[in-house]
A and B are shown apart, each in its own frame.
Chain A
């Protein structure tokens, strides 16, 4: 244990240790987001019900990625590249598929 302790403070200066307060704050924000999602589902917003639901889900997912997964504090730029690439590929998959199926008006 002593050797590990010795290394911790000085050599891991770039590494983030989340405080209990900030973690609990994000946790509460995620719970509030869940409540909002359920509440919004019972209000008739027409075609915007799905938009609101996905917007809240995306905010929640962003909070998890940035704070719980420590991406906001990482010094490693490749992590951001991997995340943006994953979202981009997913966008291609969903977007181009829907461009296809959404425009088959003759069917």
Chain B
């Protein structure tokens, strides 16, 4: 009859972050990663519904969408694309710092990511404010009197204006899609704020950095959504 002290704790020499119901660190990490990818797959479907609505209305109201799209500032959209790409790089470097156990570098890259997130949201807020000033926000005060693309070349009497109802549909989709994207950014910034605090307290290192990696996957996904939103919303019929 052996008493309890003989029982060997299998996890005694292992990573303290390894939970009891996982056999190995690798299995635990793979499970967390797979769960994150499944979450992102449903995010694809979530944004996919809005992309589908956009596609159908752009097909139906092509010229009106071109007119409404040209009310956006292409350069603010391009700058925001660059800001997001830079923030994706800082996230990659944050994950790398965690893998290498560089605590302060990890905190630094996370803080830089948060700053870039705020830059994006600030530019977005400025764009939204302009939409309110120009009455381009869908609703009771919406008003739209702009030419269809390439009409400036015609004599004034022959120029055609965009259908305001169709333009309103464009702006509805614009606010739904960029608004949902911005909400994801706000959640991401909050997430990174929490992770930066935990990283500063030394919670993450080469043995355990799954939250950093999964938050990074989330952030890259949000970046990818914007990579598609930018040409679809800002760059319609710009050459005319």
Name B55's contact: one of A8, A44, A98 (CB within 8 Å): A98
Name A15's contact: one of B14, B45, B99 (CB within 8 Å): B99
Contact with B along A19-31 (1 / 0, CB 8 A): 0100110110011
Q: Is the CB of A97 within 8 A of B55?
A: yes
Name A4's contact: one of B81, B93, B205, B239 (CB within 8 Å): B205
The smallest C-beta distance from A40 to any residue of chain B, in angstroms, reads: 8
Q: How would you classify the secondary structure of chain B's contact residues: helix, strand, loop or mixed?
A: helix
List B contacts of A85 (CB < 8 A): 41
The smallest C-beta distance from A43 to any residue of chain B, in angstroms, reads: 6
Q: Is the CB of A41 within 8 A of B239?
A: yes
Interface residues on chain B, size class? 35 or more
Q: Is the CB of B231 within 8 A of A17?
A: no
B100: Cβ under 8 A from any A Cβ? yes
Q: Which residues of A48-107 have CB atoms within 8 Å of chain B's CB atoms?
A: 49-50, 53-54, 56-57, 60-61, 64-65, 68-69, 74, 76, 78-79, 82-83, 85-87, 89-90, 93-94, 97-98, 101-102
A82-B227 CB under 8 A given contacts A42-B239, A68-B91: no
List A contacts of B108 (CB < 8 A): none
Chain A interface residue count, Cβ-Cβ cutoff 8 angstroms: 56
Name A34's contact: one of B29, B38, B81 (CB within 8 Å): B81
Q: Is the CB of B217 within 8 A of A7?
A: no
Name B93's contact: one of A20, A74, A98 (CB within 8 Å): A20
Give the number of A-B contacts (CB < 8 Å). 162
Name B224's contact: one of A8, A50, A65, A93 (CB within 8 Å): A65
In the assembled complex, 16 residue pairs joining A and B whose CB atoms fall closer than 8 Å, in A order, are A4-B206, A4-B207, A5-B101, A7-B206, A37-B231, A37-B235, A38-B235, A41-B239, A43-B239, A44-B239, A49-B239, A76-B34, A78-B37, A82-B37, A93-B45, A94-B52
Q: A27-B86, A60-B227 are in contact. List 14 more A-B contacts (CB 8 A).
A: A15-B99, A18-B95, A18-B96, A30-B88, A45-B239, A54-B228, A56-B231, A57-B227, A57-B231, A61-B228, A78-B34, A82-B38, A93-B45, A101-B60
> B interface vs A, CB < 8 Å?
14-16, 25-26, 29-30, 33-34, 37-38, 40-41, 44-45, 48-49, 51-52, 55-56, 59-60, 74, 78, 81-82, 85-86, 88-89, 91-93, 95-96, 99-101, 202, 205-208, 216-217, 220, 223-224, 227-228, 230-232, 235-240
